[in-house]
């Protein structure tokens, strides 16, 4: 097969680096309001009916939203196998905690309203809170650790050794990144609930979302300041072979204060990402306070996209730096699959991603509108 030579290897690597970012943003924006709504559930819903309204606002769409997470995991496995190996082995317990939350969520959706017992339903409501809070926190903590560097090393045979521990991931900066993650998804979930609900639920969501938008701006600013002043980034100090083999040990890497901000100075257009993070959160605050439902949701989506993309823009070309052996750090140019594999995956992606986007768009069009309390109260067969 010679068709893959139509696109150079370095271009394919860059495309797949960008696609991973797109998939992460797609998951955070779509499944993010599901997770945020779960975190808010015990607080915006004071009665059983109000909580059912919250649950039914996300119940019909959460399964489709998780497709982005599955796509992201599959893409990492196929396009960046070394990243998959380090992340899914080194972060094993963290991944297990995330999966526990994501597995319990559908169970809670299905079983919560099977009995009229208030205690039974309250327990499942807290399970839904857990299944929103824990994955959201750990995703942020993971990104915080990636920015600091992960304690792994490579043998010349490419055998990977991870020298960290689960509790070592819970360092102050990583926990701060976890708080950024929680704040931005609570903001996003609030914007969604304002769009999909009425009355007291929407009012409480506006109040919590406004606070979360302010917290997003503050936490994100503090994290950026700490990253600039106190946390070393990494930079490649040897020649970069963009067409070279996937062997991270062929380069030289050094830690350097402020290295994660070098891309912004070299390519000022990349500052659009952090600017979107701040502007989107401010717009979400305004949209929530002035009851501009669609505007608030779009702005919270913009903020989430900007915050996630700012990590990629700061770290490029690094994907996963190593804190104990910087030379082993994984980059866009030395940790990908083969030229042919990336090309075949790109063809498949070009076919199926538009189909997924089209189907998702159609689903949201069909389900457009607010969840009605009266219909939930009278529904016996289909509502959660």
Q: Is 374 within a domain? A: no
Q: What is the DSSP letter of 150?
A: B
Q: What is the pLDDT of residue 376?
A: 77
DSSP codes joined into one string, 105-146: HHHHHHHTTSS--HHHHHHHHHHHHHHHHHHHHHHHHHHHHH
Q: Is 317 within a domain? A: yes
Q: What is the pLDDT of residue 244?
A: 85
Q: Is 369 within a domain? A: no
Q: What is the pLDDT of residue 211?
A: 97
Q: What is the pLDDT of residue 147?
A: 94
Q: Name the phi and psi angles at 163, rounded to 5.
A: -105, 10
Give the total number of structural domains in the chain: 1
Nearest alpha carbon to residue 230 among 320, 148, 324, 149: 148
Q: What is the pLDDT of residue 382?
A: 59
Q: Is 356 within a domain? A: yes
Domain boundaries, position 245: 3-360
CA–CA distance, 81 with 102 (Å, rounded to integer):
24
pTM score, whole prediction: 0.93
Q: Note every long-range contact of 207-211, with CB atoms under 8 Å and residues 24 or more positions apart, other chains counting.
A: 208/40, 208/43, 208/44, 209/284, 209/288, 209/296, 209/300, 210/285, 210/288, 210/289
Residues of the chain with pLDDT under 50: none
Structure tokens at 234: 């990494």
Q: Residue 187: is the preceding peptide bond cis (ω within 30°)?
A: no
Q: Is 373 within a domain? A: no
Q: Is 384 within a domain? A: no
CA–CA distance, 36 with 30 (Å, rounded to integer):
11
Structure tokens at 27: 């998951």
Q: Residue 317: is the preceding peptide bond cis (ω within 30°)?
A: yes
What CA–CA distances, in Å, run from 77 to 8, 82, 86, 100, 135?
21, 8, 11, 21, 20
3-state secondary structure of 287: helix
Q: Is 306 within a domain? A: yes
Longest dimension (CA), the chain: 68
Q: Is 366 within a domain? A: no
Cβ neighbours for 225, distance < 8 A, ≥ 6 positions apart: none
Q: What is the pLDDT of residue 177?
A: 96
Contact between residue 111 and residue 124 where contact means Cβ atoms under 8 Å apart: yes
């Amino acid at each position: 097969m010679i068709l893959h030579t139509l696109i150079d290897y370095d271009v394919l690597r860059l495309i797949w680096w960008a696609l991973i970012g797109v998939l992460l943003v797609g998951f955070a924006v779509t499944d993010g309001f599901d997770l945020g709504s779960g975190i808010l559930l015990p607080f915006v819903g004071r009665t059983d009916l109000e909580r059912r309204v919250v649950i039914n606002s996300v119940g019909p769409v959460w399964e489709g939203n998780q497709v982005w997470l599955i796509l992201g995991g599959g893409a990492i496995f196929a396009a960046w196998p070394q990243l998959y190996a380090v992340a899914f082995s080194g972060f094993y317990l963290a991944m297990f905690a995330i999966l526990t939350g994501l597995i319990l969520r559908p169970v809670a959706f299905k079983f919560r309203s099977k009995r009229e017992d208030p205690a039974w339903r309250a327990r499942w409501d807290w399970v839904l809170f857990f299944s929103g809070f824990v994955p959201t926190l750990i995703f942020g903590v993971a990104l915080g650790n990636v920015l600091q560097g992960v304690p792994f090393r490579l043998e010349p045979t490419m055998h990977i050794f991870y020298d960290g521990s689960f509790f070592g991931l819970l360092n102050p900066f990583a926990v701060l990144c976890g708080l950024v993650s929680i704040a931005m998804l609570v903001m996003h979930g609030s914007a969604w609930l304002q769009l999909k609900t009425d009355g007291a639920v929407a009012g409480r969501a506006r109040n919590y979302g406004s606070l979360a938008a302010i917290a997003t701006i503050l936490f994100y600013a503090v994290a950026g300041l700490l990253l600039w002043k106190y946390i070393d980034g990494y930079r490649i100090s040897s020649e970069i072979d963009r067409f070279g083999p996937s062997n991270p040990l062929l380069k030289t890497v050094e830690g350097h204060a402020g290295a994660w901000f070098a891309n912004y100075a070299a390519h000022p257009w990349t500052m659009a990402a952090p600017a979107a993070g701040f502007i989107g959160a401010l717009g979400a605050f305004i949209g929530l306070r002035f009851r501009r439902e669609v505007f608030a949701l779009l702005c919270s989506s913009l903020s989430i996209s900007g915050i996630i993309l700012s990590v990629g823009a700061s770290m490029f070309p690094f994907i996963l730096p190593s804190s104990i052996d910087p030379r082993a750090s994984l980059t866009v140019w030395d940790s990908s699959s083969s030229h042919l594999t990336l090309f075949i995956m790109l063809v498949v992606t070009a076919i199926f991603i538009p189909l997924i986007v089209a189907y998702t768009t159609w689903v949201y069009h069909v389900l457009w509108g607010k969840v009605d309390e009266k219909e939930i109260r009278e529904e016996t067969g289909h509502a959660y």
